[in-house]
Amino acid sequence: MNIDTLVESFYSKIDENEDLINEVMRFFLVEEEKSAEEPKPRSPSKERRDRALRFPLLVPSEQSVGQYTAEGSEDRATFELWMKKIAPQGNLEEKIASLQAFIDSPPKDMPIATTLSYLMFLQTFSYMIREFNASVAGFLWEPFLAAMFGGKSTQVHTKEGDIADVKLEYSILVALPGSDGLQRVSLKILSPTGSVGGSFVDLVNHFCVNPKQPMTYVVIRKMPGVDKGGEKIKEATMAFWEFSISQETFFTWIGPPKVSIQKETRPYTHPEDGAPDWGRKELATALEKSDFVPDGWYIIRVDKAPKKLAGTKPGSIVPGQTYEIQMRSTDTEPGKEGVSGSGNAAKIWGSDELYAQWYALWEEMAGNPEFWQRVRGPKALRTGPDDPIGSPLLDGPDFAELGALGYQKSAQFKIDSTYQKKKLETPMGTINILPSVLDEAFQQGAELIGPQLTEMFNALSALIDNVGRFFLIDCGDPQGAAETCDEKDSSMRQASGRDAIKDAAKLKEVVDLRIAPALKPDEE
C-alpha cells in the first residue's frame, strides 16, 4: 500500500477523471499555501497525530486490496484482518449502525481485537473522506468496501466494462435466483444536493448480461455540521443511502415520469387541540405522513387560513382554522393525459410519445431479457467478453428499430437528490466524523485497550513518520561529500533521528512485555 501502487491505480482511471492524478500528487508532494487572512482548516493529518491513540495509515488501492485478490496477497489479508471484526455477519446497513454505536458508546467489555478493527476503520474512513476530494475519496472507498466484506468481494477494474464499482459476496446477503452470487454495487460520494449519475449504455449492457441482477447504488452524502467551539465542518456526518435498480424498478429511477397537470386541492381543518406553534412547513410534513395524502402524491402548498386571528404569529397554523392543501401526483403512468417524461427521460427515451411507447413495451415484455437488446438496437456499444450480443431483433415495433435514443447517443442518466430523498425518505444509516466526536471515540478506545498497547501503537506510528523524515531530509553522508542542508533541515533531521530512537525503544519495551511472554518456546 505504498505511493507506487496508489499512483499506478490512479493512472488506470485517468480517462475518467484527469483530476485524480493532480489530486494524489498534490497530496503526496505539494503543500498548499494559504494567505495570512485565510483561515486554515483543521488538518486531518494533524487530527490523527493529536489523538490519544493512532495507527499507521493503511491506504487501500485497487492494486493492493481491491481488484487483485489472488491467494497470498499480504496487503489484502492484512486489511481484511483489520476490518473483519466490524459486525462480521452483517450487511452494510448493520455495519454502519454498529460503527455509529461504537462512536456513541463503545462497550466496556469489548475485546481488544474488535476495538482495534473499529478504530482503524474510523481512522482510515475519516482520513479518506476529509483529506481527499470527492472523486479521489470515492475511488479509495471502492477497494476499502470490498476488503471490508472480504471473501470473493472485489473492486471492478475499469477495463472490465462493468458499471459496478465493486462486487460483494452474497455470503451475508440473500442471493437472487439466476444470479452469480455477487451483488453489484456502484459507489458515489456526493454533496447534500449532488445528483447520482451514470452511463445509460453501461446500465443497459449490465441488464443484457445479468438480467436478474439488480444494480445497487450506495450513496454517501457529506452533510455539514458544527463542531465544538463553533467551527463549521463540511464533512460532519456521512449519510448513507441505498437503492437498487432492477428490471422491475427501472422506470422508477431511470427517467421517471413528470406530472404536469394532475393536481388536487383539499380542505383541512386543524384540530382545536392541535399544535399552536406549527408553521405551514410543519403541517405539510405531518400531513404527508398521515392518511390525508394518498400514495404517490405530495403537498406542494398550504394556503393561509381565510382570516388571521389576533395574537397569532405570522404564518402560524391556528387551531380550529381551515386551510386549503394543494397536492400533486408524482408517480403516474407514462402515456396518460398530462404525463410527460422528465428532462432526463427525454435525453434517454426521446419525445413524450416515444417515452410512453418504450414504457408500454417494458410492461408488455415483463422482464424478458430481449427488452434490453431492443433498447440497444442494432449497434451494441462498449460490450464486454461475456455479453451475449446476438443478432439484432428485427421483429419488434417500428419505434424500437434504432434502439433508445440515450443508448445510441451514450447519454448519462441522472437521479437528483430531491427525487432520491422523496423515494427513500431516510438514509440507511449515518456515521458522525466530527473531529471532536472522533477524538472522544479514540480516547475511549485507548482506555479499552490499555496504556501499554496505546503507547505501542502511538510509538509505531511515530516511528514510521520520524524514520521517513530522517531519510527524506538529505544532508549528505557524514563520511562522504558535503551536501547543501540549511540549519532548519539539519535541526529537523537530528530531532527526527532522536525521536525515532525513542520510539523504537518504547516499541521494543511493550513488545517484550506483551508479546514475547505469549510466544511458545519454539516460536522465539
| One-character DSSP codes across 492-524 | HHHHHHHHHHHHHHHHHHHHHHHTGGGS-GGG-
pLDDT at 37: 45
Q: Is 403 exposed, middle or buried (0-12, 13-18, 19+ CB in 10 A)?
A: buried
- Whether the pLDDT of residue 101 is over 90: the answer is yes
Mean of all residue pLDDT scores within the chain: 78
Q: What is the mean pLDDT of residues 302-316?
A: 63
Cβ atoms of 205 and 153 within 8 Å: the answer is no
Write the pLDDT tens digit of every residue in 209-226.
Answer: 888 888 999 999 999 999
268 or 307: which carries more pLDDT confidence?
A: 268
Cβ atoms of 122 and 104 within 8 Å: the answer is no
- Whether the pLDDT of residue 112 is over 80: the answer is yes
**Beta-bridge partner residues of 195:** none
pLDDT at 159: 67
pLDDT at 522: 66
Write the pLDDT tens digit of every residue in 173-187.
Answer: 444 555 566 788 898
Q: Return phi, psi of residue 19, to 5°.
A: -65, -20
327 or 307: which carries more pLDDT confidence?
A: 327
Cβ atoms of 438 and 120 within 8 Å: the answer is no
Distances (CA, A) of 168 to 89, 93, 406: 13, 14, 29
CA pair distance 189, 196, nearest whole angstrom: 9
pLDDT at 429: 93
What is the helix (H) or strand (E) element at residue 137, kind and residue range? helix 134-149
3-state SS class at 102: helix
386 or 454: which carries more pLDDT confidence?
A: 454
3-state SS class at 362: helix
Q: Return phi, psi of residue 109, to 5°.
A: -100, 15
Pairing of strands 263-269, 257-259: unpaired
pLDDT at 3: 43
129 or 5: which carries more pLDDT confidence?
A: 129
Write the pLDDT tens digit of every residue in 21-69.
Answer: 444 444 444 334 444 444 444 555 667 677 888 887 776 665 555 554 4
3-state SS class at 54: coil
- Whether the pLDDT of residue 98 is over 90: the answer is yes
Task: Determine what percent of the chain is predicted with pLDDT higher than 90.
Answer: 21
3-state SS class at 384: coil
CA pair distance 446, 454, nearest whole angstrom: 6
Ranking 146-160, 243-257, 262-276 by mean pLDDT, the lowest is 146-160
- Whether the pLDDT of residue 128 is over 60: the answer is yes
Write the pLDDT tens digit of every residue in 64-81.
Answer: 555 544 445 677 778 778
- Whether the pLDDT of residue 260 is over 60: the answer is no
| One-character DSSP codes across 389-454 | --S---SS-GGGTT--HHHHTTPEEEE-HHHHHHHH-S-SEEEE--HHHHHHHHHHHHHHH-HHHH
3-state SS class at 281: helix
CA pair distance 364, 81, nearest whole angstrom: 49
pLDDT at 502: 92
CA pair distance 248, 27, nearest whole angstrom: 43
Only one residue has cell 433508445, namely 404
- Whether the pLDDT of residue 323 is over 60: the answer is yes
Nearest by Cα to 83 from 149, 162, 175, 16 = 149
What is the helix (H) or strand (E) element at residue 273, kind and residue range? none
444 or 142: which carries more pLDDT confidence?
A: 444
pLDDT at 270: 87
pLDDT at 524: 52
- Whether the pLDDT of residue 168 is over 90: the answer is no
Write the pLDDT tens digit of every residue in 428-473.
Answer: 999 999 999 999 999 999 999 999 999 998 898 889 888 888 887 7
Cell of 335: 402515456
Nearest by Cα to 162 from 105, 210, 102 = 210
Ranking 9-18, 320-329, 461-470, 492-501 by mean pLDDT, the lowest is 9-18
Question: pTM value?
Answer: 0.74
CA 518 to chain centre: 40
What is the helix (H) or strand (E) element at residue 84, kind and residue range? none
Looking at 157-214, list the stretches that DSSP marks H as alpha helix, in order from N- to C-terminal side: 200-209
Cβ atoms of 509 and 448 within 8 Å: the answer is no
44 or 400: which carries more pLDDT confidence?
A: 400
- Whether the pLDDT of residue 123 is over 80: the answer is yes
Q: Is 497 exposed, middle or buried (0-12, 13-18, 19+ CB in 10 A)?
A: middle
Nearest by Cα to 270 from 325, 232, 225 = 325
Radius of gyration, alpha carbons of the chain: 28
Q: What is the mean pLDDT of residues 250-254?
A: 87
Single-letter amino acid code for the residue at 387: D
Cβ atoms of 243 and 134 within 8 Å: the answer is no
Write the pLDDT tens digit of every residue in 504-524.
Answer: 999 899 888 888 888 877 655
Cell of 492: 529537523
490 or 332: which carries more pLDDT confidence?
A: 490
CA pair distance 148, 144, nearest whole angstrom: 6
Confidence at 1, pLDDT banded by 50, 70, 90: very low
pLDDT at 476: 62
Q: Is 488 exposed, middle or buried (0-12, 13-18, 19+ CB in 10 A)?
A: exposed
pLDDT at 439: 92
Count other Cβ atoms within 10 Å, centred on residue 260. 13
Q: What is the mean pLDDT of residues 357-364?
A: 88
Task: Determine what percent of the chain is predicted with pLDDT higher than 70.
Answer: 75
What is the helix (H) or strand (E) element at residue 93, kind and residue range? helix 92-104
Q: What is the mean pLDDT of residues 188-196?
A: 91
pLDDT at 307: 53
